[in-house]
Amino acid sequence: MAKLPKPEELSKIDFTPPKTSWMDTPVTIKEGMFCHGAKQKSLEIVGFPNARDWRPLDADWKLPENWKEILLEGIADRLEKYRSFRLFMDICVRCGACADKCHFFIGTGDPKNMPVLRAELIRSVYRKEFTAAGKIFGKMAGARELTLDVLKEWWYYFFQCTECRRCSVFCPYGIDQAEITIIGRELLNELGLNIDWIAGPAAACYMKGNHLGLEPHTITSNLEYMLDDIETITGKRIKPSFNRKGAEILFVTPSGDLFADPGTYTAMGYLMLFEELGLDYTWSTYASEGGNFGFFTTNELAKRLNSKIYNEARRLGVKYIIGGECGHMWRVLNQYMDTWNGPADFLEVPKSPITGTVFENARSTKMIHIAEFTADLIKNNKLKLDPRRNDHLKVTFHDSCNTARGMGILEEPRYIINKVCNHFTEMPEDTIREKTFCCGSGSGLNASEDMDLRMKGGFPRANAVKFVRDHYGVNMLANICAIDRAALPPLMDYWVPGVKVTGVHELVANALIMKGEKERTTDLRGEPLPGIGQKEEKA
Amino acid sequence: MRVLFAFIAVLLLALAAYAGVEAVNLRFLFGVVIPYVAVVVFIAGMIYRVLKWGSAPVPFRIPTTCGQQKSLPWIKQNKLENPSGMLGVIGRMTLEVLFFRSLFRNLKTQLNEDSRLAYGEAKWLWLAGMAFHWSFLTIFARHLRFVMQQVPEPIRMIEGLDSFLQIGTPLLYMTDVVLLLAVAYLFIRRVGIPQMRYLSLANDYFPLFLIFGIGLSGVLMRYFYKTDIISVKVLAMGLVSFKPSIPEGIGVIFYIHFFLLSVLLIYFPFSKLAHLGGVFMSPTRNLANNNRMKRHINPWNYPVHVHTYAEYEDEFREKMKKAGLPVEKE
């Protein structure tokens, strides 16, 4: 693997376009900018086509003989199925408003990372094969042949897009590069051109219920470690239940929260909160994944993976579902789940057993976001909180792409943070909320072999964090996304050393005063709590 | 190269009209036949376009949310940027279609010397876009006087407003100037910014030249090479009443103007200009973000193969029992 250049080098970005026109500039696949090809095994498990081991740097991608035919049929099929696709192929005026909105363009300067041009990669072929003007006028009408080079270009650049939708916020027609990337990746999938960082977790999720491939006993033992830590910190032993029939609520969170810190601290936060409420809920080892890497392969696999959530809710006989902190998970839950696998008529409209609040906004899907649930608790004064326990943290909040632009859960986490922390600062306004920047590693690109790409893509986000670190001493980057919790720590270490990453419910649990807890001396990370001595002085 | 191609194409079109009328006296062709064809192609083409888009279903409700969702009653929803109902969607679409809301958000991202990214206002594109489209609409409306026996009051009002500066004879219409300036800006922006030049196709330049040509020929006709306006009206009235005739005294400049317009109409449905219809149909804008409240139906949703709990338990039963997890089958 290529060595990652130093930040000073990586931030020297050349925005000069190549001398040759983009159609005449063949793709160069660069080390550090792509992920390994999907393994045969991963594709076979979910029954994906052209399963074989292959390497992106090899000249021969081991494609089926009729690969071109397959792709063109694939495009025709999706033009029939998706109005979005058909429309987005036709109506772009190339005004360029999207160009400098993409974190990958900002971070690489590569013109093919301008969303408009990334879309043109596929539009040019669409024109050639599906429009009269393209057939007659060819290149002059922006049309070109589908060749092996073009295919490789698709592959390279559709895996340099994190489906974050920032471009679509600025597009006067709402053209959404995420939609084009999603379909582009579906087409590539028909030739077995997946990346293993996506195909592997998707296969694991299909067989074992979660991306990390945690088997049932591993899930329980991972939680045991957390419970030990919670006992050390609070003196309370929590006994959560798994796969329990008759529980009122099924709780589903991304498996990343069960696996590595800082996600595990967030999971400890959930455990402590639910314990304190005496919530009648259960975890599931079968539906042990909120996220959905299938979403980064095909619509069909996304649906297959997602089906486990409703199926498990039905089997266990719960009343409704609460979902943990995760980005693309909530894009899927908010915009796809009910359509794919609903109607969830065997569930009830979510109603908080603590406050009695009925979540009308989840009337049909019957699944609520934990930030909605917790914000409601705090608003109704149901939690005893001591925000001073987070006084050692100067917090800022990173809106995840999907929860911001595919849902709009902006105020809930901010409300919670402001109630559990005393020091909260926003990043510059053009980098948050609907204009938030991706972590650079979303949509399944958070592998280790594409660190160059990730650091470049995460540059705008890191740059905004650096601003609040330098000006306001921010040392903690809060978020509601498991990919963020995995991807932002290396990004911070690289660009903004000294800033750590946390889930919102870790902050909640730090501040949460639990019944019968011992006096806490550390936060969930085992770091000493601020002002412990002073507290006694006051008394 | 792409610029030149588009420029020459428009130039040749203008010359074709000039030669056709002056040299070969094809006034009926350029004054009647081609305009009729153009209108038919435009209408049929746009209908075809919209029906074609409409024939593809919207399998998922995928609005791009640009504000706070509707959730708890005490959290203020942004009903325009993240609508949860029909009214909000209508509001959002109105802002989008009439005022280019999304483009108004435009920012300029700049990388400073010290590796700091800065975001600045960038409203020029929005302004030029608004100026261009609204001028175009106004000019279109003003032209309706040519196809109506009695010029209706609203059109007189538009003319009055458009010429209220009271400059010159005939009175200068502001939109004439604004349209040409806006098109010129859009062109200069396209060739001046390296990224824009890089991504632009010949079919981005062609409509700019074409519309500039239409505007310019119109301006020349109104203010400089005057043509017999009464005869033009006779021609126009003849066309709309399906009794076409070619009156005497119409200068060649009119035929150039009219022909370029015809070309625009023919080109329109088969090009990016069809965004006129498409903007209304974009699923990221014209849908409410109420997925969790109301189920959206995908007409081609089909059953898929899933890994069931029973299969899962079969594989892991022993491990589950050892870990103290409940199982369905012992």
Closest CA to A264 of A194, A214, A320: A214
Chain A residues with CB under 8 Å of B54 CB are 83
Alpha carbon of B145 to those of A390, B155, B164, B236, B276: distances in Å? 71, 7, 18, 10, 23
Task: Say if residue A185 is in the same domain as residue A206.
Answer: no
Domain boundary among A194, A221, A251: A194
Asked if the structure places residue A529 within a domain, the reply is no
CB nearest to B284's CB, from A168, A307, A435: A168
Q: Find all residues with CB under 8 Å of B252, minimum gap 6, and list them.
A: B17, B18, B21, B22
Tell me: do A42 and A149 sit in the same domain: yes
- Residue A178 and residue A207 in one domain: no
Residue of B nearest to A111 (CA): B195
Q: Which residues of B touch A173 (CB under 8 A)?
A: 275, 278-279, 282, 285
> Cβ(A458)–Cβ(A495) under 8 Å?
yes
What are the pLDDT digits (tens) for B260-297?
999 999 999 999 999 999 999 999 999 999 999 999 99
Q: Is B277 helix (H, G, I), strand (E, B) or coil?
A: helix
Q: Which of A286, A301, A436 is most worth mutating to test chain B (most B CB atoms within 10 A of its CB)?
A: A286
Claim to verify: residue A207 and residue A182 sit in the same structural domain: no
Average pLDDT of the segment spanning A418-436:
98
For chain B, which domains are there? 2-304 (1.20.950.20)
Task: Note the pLDDT tens digit of each residue in B223-270.
Answer: 998 888 899 999 999 999 999 999 988 999 999 999 999 999 999 999
Q: Is residue A119 located within the same domain as residue A215?
A: no
Q: Do the chains contact at B72 and A376, CB–CB below 8 Å? A: yes
Which residues from B are below 8 Å from A406, CB to CB? Answer: 62, 64-65
Phi-psi region of B41 (alpha: psi -120 to 50; beta: other; left: phi over 0): alpha
Q: In the predicted model, what is the mean pLDDT of chain B?
A: 95
Mean pLDDT of A105-112: 97
- Using an 8 Å CB-CB cutoff, list chain B residues near A19: none
Q: Residue holding tokens 């601290």? A: A265
Q: CB distance from B94 to chain A under 8 Å?
A: no
Instruction: Calculate the alpha carbon distances from B252 to B13, B106, B209, B223 in Å.
Output: 13, 43, 20, 15
Distance from the Cα of B63 to chain A's closest Cα (Å) equals 7
Distance of residue B23 Cα from the nearest chain A Cα, in angstroms: 29
CB contact under 8 A, B306 and A311: yes
Distance from A363 to chain B by nearest Cα, in Å?
Answer: 5
User: Which residues in chain B touch residue A75, judged by CB atoms under 8 angstroms apart?
Assistant: none
Q: A427: phi > 0 → left, psi -120 to 50 → alpha, else beta; which?
A: beta
Q: Do B196 and A101 touch (CB under 8 A)?
A: no
Query: Which residue in chain B has the smallest CA separation from A121?
Result: B199
Query: Given a cut of 60, is residue A374 above it in pLDDT?
Result: yes
CA distance A247 to A241: 9
CA atoms within 13 A on the CB side of B324: 8
Residues in chain B: 330
As a whole number of angstroms, the distance between CA B31 and CA B236 comes to: 9
Judged by CB atoms closer than 8 Å, whether chains meet at A460 and B117 is answered as yes
- Enumerate the residues of chain B whose CB falls inside 8 A of the CB of residue A334: 289, 291-292
A362/B292 touch (CB, cutoff 8 Å), yes or no:
yes
Cβ distance A216 to B283 less than 8 Å, yes or no, reads no
pLDDT digits (tens, 9 = 90+) for B179-199: 999 999 999 999 999 999 999
**A538 within some domain:** no
B69: which chain A residues are within 8 Å (Cβ-Cβ)? 361, 407-410
List pLDDT tens digits, range A118-172. 999 999 999 999 999 899 989 888 999 999 999 999 999 999 999 999 999 999 9
Whether residue A525 is contained in a domain is answered as: no
Q: pLDDT value at position B249? A: 87
| DSSP β-ladder status, B117-121 and B107-111 | antiparallel
Q: Which of A194, A221, A250 is the last residue of a domain?
A: A194
Per CB-CB distance under 8 Å, the chain B contacts of A15 are 111, 194-195
Does residue A261 form part of some domain?
yes
Q: How many beta-carbon pairs below 8 A join chains A and B?
A: 315
Whole-angstrom distance, CA of residue A502 vs CA of residue A341: 32
**297-316 in B: which are within 8 Å (CB) of A?**
297-298, 300-301, 304-309, 312-313, 315-316
Specify whether A278 is located in the same domain as A183. no
| pLDDT at residue A535, rounded to an integer | 47
- What would the mean pLDDT of A452-469 be, rounded to a whole number? 98
Domain contains A154: yes
Provide the shortest C-alpha distance from residue B36 to chain A (in Å): 22
Q: How confident is the model at residue A534 (pLDDT cuts 50, 70, 90)?
A: low
Q: What are phi and psi of A395, to 5 degrees?
A: -105, 140
Segments forming the whole domain that contains residue A499? 201-511
Which residues contact residue B255 at a Cβ distance below 8 angstroms, ignoring those fewer than 6 apart? B17, B18, B20, B21, B27, B30, B31
Do residues A155 and A284 both lie within one domain? Answer: no
A215 and A113 both lie in a single domain:
no
The confidence score (pLDDT) of residue A533 equals 52
B231 touches chain A (CB under 8 A): no
pLDDT value at position A348? 98
How crowded is residue B166: how many other Cβ atoms within 10 Å of its Cβ?
Answer: 8
Nearest beta carbon to residue B295 from set A16, A93, A364: A364
β-partners of residue A250 are: A282, A321
Residue B216 confidence (pLDDT) above 80: yes
Q: Taking 60 as the threshold, does the pLDDT of residue A181 lie above it?
A: yes
- Tell me, yes or no, whether A429 lies in a domain: yes
Per DSSP, helices labelled H in A174-322 are: 177-189, 196-208, 216-234, 263-277, 299-316
Select the residue of B59, B69, B304 nearest A81 (Cβ to Cβ). Answer: B59
- Clarify whether residues A175 and A206 are in a common domain: no
Which of A95, A214, A403 is the best substitution to test chain B (most B C-beta atoms within 10 A)? A95
pLDDT in tens, B111-170: 998 899 999 989 999 999 999 999 999 999 999 999 998 999 999 999 999 998 888 888
Do A226 and A139 fall into the same domain?
A: no
Query: Taking CB atoms and an 8 Å limit, are A408 and B200 in contact across chains?
Result: no
Q: What is the ipTM of this complex?
A: 0.95
Contact A407 B69 (CB under 8 A): yes
A244 contacts B326? CB cut-off 8 A: yes
Instruction: Say yes or no for a CB contact (<8 Å) between B67 and A367.
Output: no
Distance from CA of A525 to the nearest CA of B (A): 27
Output the pLDDT for position B168: 86
CA atoms within 13 A on the CB side of A367: 30
Q: Is the pLDDT of residue A1 over 80?
A: no
The whole-number pLDDT of residue A539 equals 38
The confidence score (pLDDT) of residue A2 equals 58
DSSP secondary structure string for all residues of A139-204: GGGT-----HHHHHHHHHHHTS-----HHHHH-TT---HHHHHHHHHHHHHTTT--BHHHHHHHHH
Nearest to B67 among A243, A362, A434 (CB): A434
At A532 the pLDDT is 65
Last residue of a domain, one of A139, A166, A194: A194
**Closest Cα of chain A to B99: distance in Å?**
10
Residue A328: pLDDT band (50, 70, 90) is very high
Average pLDDT of the segment spanning B53-62? 97
pLDDT (tens digit per residue) in A404-413: 999 999 999 9
Whether the per-residue pLDDT at A537 is higher than 60: the answer is: no
Q: Please indicate if any CB of chain A lies within 8 Å of the CB of B12.
A: no
- Same-domain check for residues A387 and A473: yes
The answer to whether residue A128 sits within a structural domain is yes
Element (H, E) at A322: strand A320-323
Q: How close does chain A come to B43, measured CA to CA in Å?
A: 17
Q: Chain-wide mean pLDDT for chain A?
A: 96
Suggest the residue from A93, A311, A349 to mutate for an interface test with chain B (most B CBs closer than 10 A).
A93
pTM (2 decimals)?
0.95
Total domains present in chain A: 2
Q: Note whether residue A277 is domain-resident.
A: yes
pLDDT exceeding 70 applies to what percent of chain A? 98
Nearest CA in chain A to B186: A95
**Alpha-carbon separation of residue A35 from A112, A193, A226, A454, A529 (angstroms):** 18, 11, 32, 11, 41
Residues in A touching B117 (Cβ below 8 Å): 106, 459-460, 463-464
Is B294's CB within 8 Å of A364's CB?
yes
Q: Could you tell me which chain A residue has the CA closest to the CA of B306? A: A304
Residue at A511: amino acid letter: A
Name residue, tokens 């011992």: A518
Check if B96 contacts A (Cβ < 8 Å).
Answer: yes
Question: Which of A277-281, A469-473, A532-536, B42-46 shows the lowest per-residue confidence on average (mean pLDDT)?
Answer: A532-536
- A460 to chain B: which residues are within 8 Å by CB? 109, 117
B198 inside 8 A of chain A by CB: yes
Is there a contact between B304 and A90 if contact means CB atoms under 8 Å apart? no
pLDDT at A20 over 50: yes
Same domain, A170 and A260: no
Cβ contact, residue pair A408, B289, below 8 Å:
yes
User: How is residue A43 written in tokens?
Assistant: 């594709």
